[in-house]
């Protein structure tokens, strides 16, 4: 079987991967600091939004980004893990069975983190959501650690740099396994949306994590002041 350098990961998948890693790491590190609350909430919302994007991209994205490409059952996962102990470990151009389960777990738990975080910071449900939020965050951290260890082990066994492939998008494989395009426009739009959200969020702190501004009350107050000022002007004219 002849192999060549082929494009496997499209740009949206790569942008999602690294922005999700940054968002989770940043949100986890700032979770216990009140002074970093804005950063934590902003990255938390980004984390949840990215997961929603990935759920959609898993249905309409390129070949190896689609869930149908890495829908492995328990038997396939066990067989893959056993093969890692052999001289010829099972190789996959896209996500391998063990990695696919890590991805599904992160996506599902991530939805729970996003929902509980939203409830927590909007005073819905009390302390119960705080416990749920913390437990889910720790579970994802554990899965991430296992996933990273698996990537390093697979990289060594298969003699390929998997982290680099998630940067460049290229791996060794058969020409028939390559994707047709990188979907650069979608990737650029995703990156711009997240970066734009970060810039906007840090400029509107009160509307994101503080009490909402009562615009109607402010307008009524300004209107009342204007009316009083108008009456004083009329009195001056009469004098």
The burial of 117, by beta-carbon neighbours within 10 Å (0-12 exposed, 13-18 middle, 19 or more buried), is given as: buried
- Strand ranges in the chain using DSSP code E only, listed in sequence order: 4-7, 170-173
Contacts of 76 (CB under 8 A, 6+ apart): 97
CA distance linking residue 190 with residue 198, whole number of Å: 13
Contacts of 64 (CB under 8 A, 6+ apart): 8, 9, 13, 70, 93, 94, 95, 179
Residue 219: its pLDDT value, please?
55
CA distance linking residue 200 with residue 70, whole number of Å: 36
DSSP secondary structure of 11-39: HHHHHHHHHHHHHHHHHHHTTT-STTHHH
Residue 232: its pLDDT value, please?
46
Q: What is the residue-level pLDDT of the chain in tens, covering all 239 positions?
A: 567 899 999 999 999 999 999 999 999 999 988 889 999 999 999 999 999 999 999 999 999 999 999 999 999 999 999 998 888 889 899 999 999 999 999 999 999 999 999 998 888 877 888 899 999 999 999 999 999 999 999 999 988 999 999 999 999 999 999 999 999 999 999 999 999 899 888 775 455 445 444 545 555 655 555 444 454 455 555 55
What does the block give as tokens for 17? 């991967």
What does the block give as tokens for 157? 């066994």
Residue 228: its pLDDT value, please?
47
DSSP secondary structure of 161-192: -HHHHHHH-EEEE-GGGS-S---HHHHHHHHH
């Amino acid at each position: 079987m002849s192999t060549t350098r082929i494009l496997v990961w499209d740009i949206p998948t790569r942008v999602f991967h690294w922005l999700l890693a940054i968002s989770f790491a940043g949100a986890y590190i700032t979770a216990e600091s009140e002074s970093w609350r804005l950063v934590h909430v902003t990255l938390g919302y980004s984390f949840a939004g990215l997961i929603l994007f990935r759920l959609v991209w898993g249905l309409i994205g390129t070949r190896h980004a689609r869930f149908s490409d890495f829908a492995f059952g328990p038997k396939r996962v066990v067989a893959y893990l056993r093969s890692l102990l052999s001289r010829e470990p099972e190789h996959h151009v896209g996500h391998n069975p063990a990695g696919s389960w890590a991805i599904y777990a992160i996506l599902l738990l991530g939805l729970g983190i996003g929902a509980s975080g939203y409830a927590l910071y909007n005073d819905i449900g009390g302390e119960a959501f705080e416990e749920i939020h913390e437990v889910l965050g720790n579970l994802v951290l554990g899965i991430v650690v296992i996933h990273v260890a698996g990537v390093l082990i697979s990289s060594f066994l298969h003699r390929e740099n998997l982290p680099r492939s998630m940067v460049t998008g290229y791996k060794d494989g058969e020409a028939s396994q390559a994707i047709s395009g990188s979907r650069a426009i979608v990737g650029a739009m995703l990156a711009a949306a997240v970066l734009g959200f970060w810039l906007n969020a840090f400029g509107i702190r009160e509307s994101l994590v503080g009490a909402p501004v009562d615009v109607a009350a402010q307008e009524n107050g300004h209107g009342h002041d204007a009316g009083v000022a108008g009456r004083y002007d009329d009195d001056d004219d009469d004098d």
